[in-house]
Each structure stands twice: as structure tokens, then as C-alpha cells.
Copies of this chain bind each other. A is one copy, B any other.
């Protein structure tokens, strides 16, 4: 489902227009039939993504649309720097980001990549209110929708349907996904993890240098190179 959706979103990339502090998009300010205000396609994409988790009432969708602020970031810019305390989360309309942490010896670990249709956030730091141990960096030019966390949290308490969306989202993206990842890190060797990564994220390898993939797998670029060589020789 996600893969298909990402494919659909990518179609929009060609007619985007970048500007420094916010992007403009083909926008229908009035729906032809109802005469009501309509939303930019980025917000529609976000709401569609959310509704795939749990149906949202029109009022809830309207409130969410109000909270979502279009933001552009260029490749190399940071959505969040390590040590900063985050106040917002985001939706990726186009582009690619990584969340990574750096240990005492300066080694980076790429915890997750955020492609189109995902919600980059330093979740733990948002929940605890503490500075984030993770940084979130744009690996490509990005069109984001930025959402203030406190306002989202407020809306969460007011909207029953949003609570259920939130529970489903946490279940899918944290419980199920993180459990899979934990077991993989303990029981699978780096070769298996690499092959699993390729299968689970088709198209992502082409957008990433290998050292970023190696870091995500928890190995060095040297070792990933060995593994790739060995896979080619075996096949």
C-alpha cells in the first residue's frame, strides 16, 4: 500500500515550485461544486495518508489542514539538529531525509530514512521534552508540511478519531516495525539485513550512497562492499 502511494506522490514532483520559506502548489481555492475552500495537494496527500490508518471526520481534517505549514528545506539542511529540543513533526510531500545519532566516538547510526508519505519526527524528544539525541537531515531537496507538536497534541485530546489514528500509527510504525528491526539486529547477519533492506525499500538504494545504507545496517562501508561483492559472486 505504501509503495503504491509513494509512487503516486512522485508524480507531483515535476510541477512543484521551490521557494525559500514555503512552496506554492497547484491549488484549487474553491471546489467547483460546493464552492468551499479546498486544500493544496500536499495537504490532501497528508490527509490521504492519515485516512489510510483510520477514517477522519471532516472537522478533524480541517483542523489538521490548519496546523500543517508548508516548509522547504534544501539538500544538506537540517529539519532538526542533535541537541535541539524539537517542537514540531512533519509530513514528507517530496524528498528524502535521514534520522541519525552520533555516539561518543563520532560514529553515526542512521536509524531511519523518511521518504514521501512518511512523518519525520524526533518522537522520543517530542514526548519527553528533552533535547533530541537524533538529528534529522535532508538528503534531497524536501517539501515538507510542518506541524506544531503542542497544537497536534491539543487536537489529539479533542478528537476521538485522531486518537484512534494515532494509536494505529504508533502500532504500525513503532510497535510492529521496531519489533521486526530489533529481532533482525540480533538474529540476522549483515548480509541478510542488507537483502531485507533492499526488499523492504525498493527504489531507495538508488537514492542513497552506500555509506548511508551501511550505517543503517550497523556496519562499515568496507563491510557492505565485501557483502555486495560476495552477493555478486554467489549469484
Binding site for B on A (CB under 8 A): 101, 103, 107, 109, 111, 123-124, 127-128, 133, 156-157, 160, 163-164, 166-167, 170-171, 174-176, 178-179, 181-183, 185-187, 218
Give 26 pairs: A residue, B residue, CB < 8 Å, sorted on A: A109-B186, A109-B187, A111-B179, A111-B182, A111-B183, A124-B176, A124-B179, A127-B175, A127-B176, A128-B176, A133-B183, A156-B167, A160-B160, A163-B163, A166-B167, A167-B170, A170-B171, A170-B174, A174-B174, A174-B175, A174-B178, A178-B178, A178-B182, A181-B182, A185-B185, A186-B218
Q: Are A103 and B187 in contact (CB under 8 A)?
A: yes
Q: Are B186 and A124 in contact (CB under 8 A)?
A: no
Extra contacts, 11 of them, besides A111-B183, A160-B160 (Cβ < 8 A), are A101-B183, A101-B187, A109-B186, A109-B187, A111-B182, A127-B171, A167-B167, A167-B170, A170-B175, A182-B185, A185-B186
Nearest B-chain residue to A101, judged by Cβ: B183
CB distance from A113 to the nearest CB of B (A): 14
Nearest B-chain residue to A163, judged by Cβ: B163
CB distance from A185 to the nearest CB of B (A): 5
Copies of this protein chain in the complex: 2
Q: What's the Cα separation between A187 and B101 when bound, in Å? A: 10
Q: What's the Cα separation between A133 and B186 when bound, in Å? A: 15
CB-CB under 8 A from A103, the residues of chain B are 187
Q: What's the Cα separation between A133 and B181 when bound, in Å? A: 14
Q: Are B166 and A157 in contact (CB under 8 A)?
A: no
CB-CB under 8 A from A157, the residues of chain B are 164
Q: Are A107 and B170 in contact (CB under 8 A)?
A: no
CB-CB under 8 A from A175, the residues of chain B are 123-124, 127, 170, 174
Q: What's the Cα separation between A133 and B180 when bound, in Å? A: 10
CB distance from A162 to the nearest CB of B (A): 10
Q: What's the Cα separation between A181 and B117 when bound, in Å? A: 26
Q: Are A187 and B127 in contact (CB under 8 A)?
A: no
Q: What's the Cα separation between A196 and B171 when bound, in Å? A: 27
Q: Are A182 and B182 in contact (CB under 8 A)?
A: yes
